[in-house]
């Protein structure tokens, strides 16, 4: 077995253990393998081991890999910061975008998505840590943005995404993840039908799963340390 295949198995086992520890079904948590900076050969190796969904942060790099591996039935998720001059490529090279943080970007993606294809799945990225430097929409601006995005024909609003500030404070992390879940629940109570909480990475996926993550985005634990 290759190291990517065995790392993948270990991550899948961590997800299952974390789900069981909080009484959730492992099948309700999807693994997004974050392949940014790794060549298409590494993605192919993970795909050979059964992994279907891949996350990328950089537009041309991600689109090139999707193109190179076309026909393998993979699903591509854009998870990085998105500038408006890059939306056209993202709108059609990817199946999901997790990092919507303003309406203008969402409107462009909606208008540029090929109408012959299913709507692009999107999540709003929420700035749960309140740091000025972090991307993501401020929590109090989420309801209005969610309403507006939900009305765009080329998009399907699936849920919320967050990247908490780096911290060793386990209780703080849990509060950040719980806050995102509460925000998703509030939007659903207001009439939206959001099924996705994209939260948790290599070092904190257990805490995210305990708070309701439905997609964990894992890079380092699968592919190794990025250079």
Ligand X SMILES: *Cc1c(COP(=O)(O)O)cnc(C)c1O
Angle at the Cα of 130 from the Cα atoms of 129 and 134, rounded to 5 degrees: 80
CB of 153 to ligand X, least distance (A): 27
| CB closest to ligand X, residue no | 219
Residue 14 CB, nearest approach to ligand X (Å): 12
Q: CA-CA distance, 135 to 154, in Å (whole number)?
A: 23
The residue among 183 and 198 lying less far from ligand X, judged by its C-beta, is 198
CB of 34 vs ligand X, minimal distance in Å: 4
Nearer CB in complex with ligand X: 32/146: 32
Q: Which is nearer to ligand X, 58 or 147 (CB)?
A: 58
| 80 versus 159: smaller Cβ distance to ligand X | 80
Measured distance CA(166)–CA(170) in Å, rounded: 11
C-beta of 135: minimal distance to ligand X in Å?
9
Contacts of 26 (CB under 8 A, 6+ apart): 15, 16, 19, 20
In 3D space, the residue among 161, 215, 153, 154 whose CA is nearest the CA of residue 184 turns out to be 161
Q: Which residues bind ligand X (CB under 6 A)?
A: 34, 36, 57, 79-80, 163, 201-202, 217-221
In sequence order, what are the residues at sequence separation of 6 or more whose Cβ sits closer than 8 angstroms to the Cβ of residue 35? 42, 43, 46, 54, 55, 56, 65, 219, 223
At closest approach, how far in Å is the CB of 98 from ligand X?
Answer: 7
**Of 188 and 220, CB closest to ligand X:** 220
Q: What is the smallest separation between the CB atom of 134 and ligand X, expressed in angstroms? A: 11
d(CA 154, CA 76): 17
Distance CA 21, CA 45 (A): 30
Cα(220)–Cα(223) distance, integer angstroms: 5
In terms of CB distance, is 64 or 147 closer to ligand X? Answer: 64
Nearest to 222 by CA among 199, 202, 196, 193: 202
């Amino acid at each position: 077995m290759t190291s990517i295949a065995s790392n993948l198995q270990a991550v899948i086992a961590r997800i299952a253990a974390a789900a069981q520890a909080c009484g959730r079904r492992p099948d309700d948590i999807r693994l997004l393998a974050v392949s940014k900076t790794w060549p298409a050969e590494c993605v192919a190796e993970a795909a050979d081991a059964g992994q279907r969904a891949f996350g990328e942060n950089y537009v041309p790099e991600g689109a090139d890999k999707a193109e190179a591996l076309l026909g393998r039935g993979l699903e591509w998720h854009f998870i990085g910061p998105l500038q408006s001059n890059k939306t056209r490529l993202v709108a059609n090279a990817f199946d999901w975008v997790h990092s919507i943080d303003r309406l203008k970007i969402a409107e462009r993606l909606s208008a540029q998505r090929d109408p012959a294809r299913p709507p692009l799945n999107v999540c709003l990225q929420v700035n749960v840590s309140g740091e000025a430097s972090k991307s993501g929409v401020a929590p109090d601006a989420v309801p209005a943005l969610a309403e507006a995005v939900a009305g765009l024909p080329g998009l399907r609003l699936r849920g919320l995404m967050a990247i908490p500030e780096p911290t060793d404070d386990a209780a703080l992390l849990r509060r950040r993840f719980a806050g995102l879940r509460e925000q998703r629940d509030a939007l659903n109570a207001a009439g939206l039908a959001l099924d996705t909480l994209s939260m948790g990475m290599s070092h904190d996926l257990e805490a995210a799963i305990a708070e309701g993550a439905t997609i964990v985005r894992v890079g380092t634990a699968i592919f190794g340390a990025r250079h």
